[in-house]
Amino acid sequence: MWKPLVSVLAATLALSASLVQAQEAPLRIVVGYAPGGATDRVARIVADKLGTKLGTPVIVENKTGAGGRLSAQAVKAAPANQPTLLLANPAVMLVAPLVFPDAGYDPERDFRPVSHVNSYEFGVAVASAVPVKELPHLMAWLRANPDKANFGVPATGSLPHFFGLMVGDAAKVRAEVVGYRGSAPLLNDLLGGQVPVAFDTFDTLLPQHEAGKIRILAVSSAKRSPLDAKIPTFKEASMDLAATGWNTFFAPMSMPKAQAERLSGLIVEVMKDPDTQRKFEAAKMEPVVATMAQTEAMLKAYRAQWAPVVQRSGFKP
């Protein structure tokens, strides 16, 4: 009589323990870049607050390599019982699948957008020796000096690269793109006058601008950046152009939709927290509060804007 009851009780306890263990499984946030970079900083700010709300550890895992593609491949393959999110930018989730036939993932088929958490803008800067102080003057100078019509970017195939092409198309200026291995060597050559013009993220260019060593002529956001409200937007500088980059959380399709929706709601709460917003602003990053539906709409509009630019460029890695 007691044996069956004991067996049922043992099975029930085992099932309860496995459910608790599943609920307490740590959430992994996978980042395709090294510790200390902008995407990594975003992940760690959010992870700290998200872990408190979940009541379980949130682990940030840096899986570098192949320009971030390895991180997307790893999260795509995550099993359903291992809660995992990818924090990625457009280089991983827009550009790479368009230019690499063997990227190893499809952003729309293999991932579910969870929450857009921050945006960043681009800037165009000139070396101090370039005799221009406004964007229209730069375009006129490039047309008048075709032998000097080239611009540097932190990497070929990066968003600053494609944004530079956008600007060139809008201004009817044909310029040669000079790709570097990161922002540091690009800025060194801009400071030294080896390259006359640079496109990079606004926050990267800003310290040298504030030091008076280079001049940022315009910022790509729709309104002036709070980081330096004296610098005009491209629209204010007579070019009808606006563009931003982003960091967004994605869930693999192996994660149940209800779980992804719950995580999205919790991330929204984290991003509304004044302390989170202060941390983003201290890191010179713009925080964004976006639901799953708003994130999906943003990504759809973003692809419509950028995919034709990437495809038209003919860029091949």
* Bridge partner list, 201: 122
Q: What are phi and psi of 71, to 5 degrees?
A: -65, -45
Sign, CA torsion 266/272/277/278: negative
Task: Report CA-CA distances (Å) from 47 to 40, 223, 243, 307.
Answer: 10, 29, 27, 31
Beta strands 111-127; 197-201: pairing state: antiparallel
The percent of residues in the chain predicted with pLDDT above 70, rounded, is 92
pLDDT score for 223: 93
Contact 251, 85 (CB under 8 A): yes
Rounded distance between C-alpha atoms, residue 274 and residue 49, angstroms: 12
pLDDT score for 7: 52
CA angle centred on 37, ends 33 and 38, rounded to 5°: 105
pLDDT by 10s per residue, the chain, length 317: 445 444 544 444 444 444 344 446 899 999 998 888 889 999 999 999 999 999 999 999 999 988 899 999 999 999 989 999 999 999 999 999 999 988 999 999 999 999 999 999 999 999 988 999 999 999 998 888 888 888 999 988 888 999 998 898 888 888 889 998 888 899 999 999 999 999 999 988 999 999 999 999 999 999 999 889 999 999 999 899 999 999 999 999 999 999 999 999 999 999 999 999 999 988 888 999 999 999 999 999 999 989 998 988 888 87
pLDDT score for 24: 60
pTM of the model: 0.82
Write out 130-141 in H/E/C secondary structure: CCCCCHHHHHHH
How many contiguous H segments (helices) and E segments (strands) does the chain have?
A: 13, 10
pLDDT score for 23: 47
pLDDT in tens, 217-254: 999 999 999 889 999 999 999 899 999 999 999 999 99
